[in-house]
Amino acid sequence: MSEPRRVLVLNGPNLGRLGSREPDVYGSTSYPALVEQCTALGGELGMDVEVRETNDEGEMIRWLHEAADGRIPVVVNPGAFTHYSYGMRDAAAQRTAPLIEVHISNPYARESFRHTSVIAAIATGTIAGFGIGSYLLALRALAQEPAG
């Protein structure tokens, strides 16, 4: 049997506060529960999923470089970086494996500043508005992609 495919699930600012942060927008699932759901589904799909969260733009960029250098698929919820981080966009553009942008809420149903994503144009695809299910849908999509 082959080794599980490594996948990074990267989360930007404030996502570590899931469960307590605006539950009417982001739901009641805690960050540890998100990690558990992603790693469990990854295991079922034959993937070794590592979930990370940062409030630091530079750290996110370093993780994207790591993924590009290692040809590692990425599921990324950039959080607020979505709308303005050209540094993150440039790092994500260097991808060498699929990169799926996810959002818990539907940004287009929210404030107008959330309607622009600097990441979407270089992502393999975007999944938004399905709560924590957005991450699970992204992992299922990656499972359909041939390993590179």
- The CATH number given to whatever domain includes residue 30 is 3.40.50.9100
For residue range 2-57, list pLDDT tens digits in order: 678 999 999 998 787 766 566 565 556 788 999 999 999 999 999 999 999 999 99
Name every residue whose Cβ is closer than 8 Å to that of residue 134 and which is 6 or more positions away in sequence: 77, 102, 103, 104, 127, 128
- Name the percent of the chain lying above pLDDT 70: 84
Give the pLDDT score at 124: 96
Give the pLDDT score at 147: 64
Known binding-site residue numbers for substrate: 77, 83, 90, 104-105, 114
Q: Active-site residues: which are they?
A: 26, 103
C-alpha–C-alpha distance, residues 142 and 98, integer Å: 7
Three-state DSSP class for residue 11: strand
Alpha-helical runs (H) found in the chain: 23-26, 31-44, 57-70, 86-92, 133-144
Known binding-site residue numbers: 77, 83, 90, 104-105, 114
C-alpha–C-alpha distance, residues 39 and 48, integer Å: 7
* Region of poorest pLDDT, from 13-17, 87-91, 133-137, 139-143: 13-17
Give the pLDDT score at 28: 62
Give 59's pLDDT tier (boundaries 50, 70, 90).
very high
C-alpha–C-alpha distance, residues 148 and 136, integer Å: 21
User: What is the tally of structural domains in the chain?
Assistant: 1
Give 67's pLDDT tier (boundaries 50, 70, 90).
very high
Q: pTM of the entire structure?
A: 0.88
Give the pLDDT score at 27: 56
**The pair of three-digit structure tokens given for residue 46, joined into one six-digit string:** 């034959």
Q: What is the mean pLDDT of the chain?
A: 88
Give the pLDDT score at 35: 96
Give the pLDDT score at 20: 59
For residue range 96-109, list pLDDT tens digits in order: 999 999 999 877 66
C-alpha–C-alpha distance, residues 80 and 61, integer Å: 14
Structural domain for 75, as ranges? 5-144
